[in-house]
Amino acid sequence: MAILVLAEHNNAALAAATLNTVAAAQAIGGDIHLLVAGSGCAAVAEAAAQVAGVGKVLVADQAAYANQLPENLAPLIAQLAQEPGNGYRHVLAAATTTGKNVLPRVAALLDVDQISEIVKVIDADTFQRPIYAGNAIATVQSSAAIKVITVRGTGFDAVAAEGGSAAIESIASITDAGISAFVGEELAKSERPELTAAKIIVSGGRGMQNGDNFALLYGVADKLGAAVGASRAAVDAGFVPNDMQVGQTGKIVAPQLYVAVGISGAIQHLAGMKDSKVIVAINKDEEAPIFQVADYGLVADLFEAVPELSSLLG
């Protein structure tokens, strides 16, 4: 039994989310093959071969895959999954923008149900996944011949990026559907860690009052080497860009430390951060629901507490 895992990358480096997806594949059990589809992606293939637990790296290095267009990638994955000699029983990808874009199409091409955002593997057919914005966990069993699964990274501890020595095999086939073209992308640039990969996150909510006041949080974050997140209220009010949103309709995070500042703790926000290892809340309202999930709570005015915290951090 083999498992095909879609490697996530930007043609230069392997994304950390891939390591969590490989961990989920290990929990299922079987030979793990990483598919690196891209253009000029040899360095990614080399990195993929080092990942602990990976048995083989398949490299499809073609212009058609340069920007991970799902219209081109999905047929390639479906083709690989169906080749009888490959013996794939599972196809996995991270539940990221790319994974969520590509895998439903693979499931449709294979005519199977997709199993989305698993957080736990019970056995090779049975998985757990959150439903109702994370308020309940469903245990789902699939009888599909090939199971197409997206993996929520926060549910699985990443495997080591080094220590493996997988064979690298080139795939010549090109599946260029010719129905979409990559036009461009605007990537947010930040010196701070990426939200979903950060070990520490400092997030601000409506209580911050405006975008300028987020400078208080940037100061603390830089001292802690943290990423900065936000509630949807802060995003909707235009304080910060929407790529900083944490929650049900934002990013799902589970850092070692999550500091919520001026955030009430609505369930849609909790859905994105309640699996954080340690939660600290600063809120002036002692009745705020965030205190129900906080390990440490400070009832205080953030405009006093945050500068004080910042000066204590040196």
Identify whether the C-beta of residue 123 lies closer than 8 Å to the C-beta of residue 147: no
Which residue among 269, 274, 279, 297 contacts ligand FAD (CB under 6 A)?
Answer: 269
Instruction: Find the shortest distance in angstroms from Cβ 210 to ligand FAD.
Output: 12
With contacts defined by CB under 6 A, name the span among 75-83, 106-114, 213-221, 278-286 that binds ligand FAD: 278-286
Residue 67 is assigned to a ligand binding site: no
Binding mask 218-247 for ligand FAD (x = CB under 6 A): -------------xxxx----------xxx
DSSP string spanning 112-178?
Answer: --EEEEE-EEEETTEEEEEETTTTEEEEEE---SSEEEEE-GGGSPPPPSSS---EEEE--------
Which residue among 70, 130, 134, 205 contacts ligand FAD (CB under 6 A)?
Answer: 205
- Residues facing 23 on adjacent strands: none
Residue 152 is assigned to a ligand binding site: no
Q: Using the rule CB under 6 A, is 266 a contact of ligand FAD?
A: yes
Per-residue tokens: 140: 């789902």
Q: How far apart are CA 232 and CA 54, in angstroms?
A: 38
Q: Using the rule CB under 6 A, is 259 a contact of ligand FAD?
A: no
Residue 231 is assigned to a ligand binding site: yes
Pairing of strands 114-118, 120-123: unpaired
Which of 259, 255, 258, 211 lies closest to 235, judged by CA?
211
Which residue among 114, 154, 276, 283 contacts ligand FAD (CB under 6 A)?
Answer: 283
Residue 266 is assigned to a ligand binding site: yes
Instruction: Find the shortest distance in angstroms from Cβ 297 to ligand FAD.
Output: 11
Site for ligand FAD in 180-199 (CB under 6 A): none
Question: How far is CA 72 from each of CA 6, 11, 79, 238, 275, rounded to the nearest angstrom?
Answer: 14, 16, 11, 36, 35
The annotation places the binding site for FAD at 206, 231-232, 245-249, 262-269, 283
